[in-house]
Amino acid sequence: MTEQLERVELIEEECVVTHGTRRIQWFVRVGDSWQRSRQLPSAQCEQLSAGPGTVWQTRIQLELPRGTGLMRKALEPAARSARDALSYLIANASSPKQRVSHGYYKVGRAGTLQANPAGENSSDR
């Protein structure tokens, strides 16, 4: 018996936001690890035209078994605290801090993404 494959469409992008850019990446659960969606052999990637405020945008189409786990990773600049001029001048000049958030999903019927609060610990198909 073969697994039911569903066509899934994901959008990866980088957009301009306050204090920097926000980058969205998608990962697919493969065995016990997460693999970048665009690096899967079956991934079909299409560069989309970037509109105002968008640095780049890519559509990724995959055929995945129903129940496959997906992770959406968002990287964006952390909120900056207000500082006086002297604090700003003597502060460490390292790159701005990033806030990373993860959202977990699973592939549903017709390629819909269903929220999966169990997150990375879930391996049900």
Per-residue confidence in pLDDT tens, the chain, 125 aa: 567 899 999 999 999 998 889 999 999 999 999 999 999 999 999 999 988 999 999 999 999 999 999 999 999 998 766 667 776 676 665 556 889 999 999 999 999 999 998 775 554 44
The whole-number pLDDT of residue 125 equals 44
Q: What CATH number does the domain containing 66 carry?
A: 2.60.40
Strand partners, 110: none
Query: Do the domain assignments include residue 85?
Result: no
What is the number of alpha carbons within 13 Å of residue 107 lying toward its C-beta? 26
Domain that holds residue 9: 5-75+99-115
Please indicate, yes or no, if residue 123 is contained in any of the structural domains. no
How many structural domains compose the chain? 1
The encoded tokens of residue 4 equal 């039911």
The mean of the pLDDT values for the chain is: 87
* Residue 24 belongs to some domain of the structure: yes
Residue 80 lies in a domain: no
C-alpha to C-alpha distance for 65 and 106, rounded to whole angstroms? 10
Q: Is residue 83 part of a domain?
A: no
Does any domain span residue 125? no
Among 19, 15, 21, which residue's Cα sits nearest to residue 53? 15
pLDDT digit string, tens, across residues 64-99 = 999 999 999 999 998 766 667 776 676 665 556 889
Task: Kindly tell me the burial class for residue 27, based on how many C-beta atoms sit within 10 Å of its own C-beta (0-12, 13-18, 19 or more).
Answer: buried
Q: Give the global pTM.
A: 0.80
- On the CB side of 9, CA atoms within 13 Å amount to 5
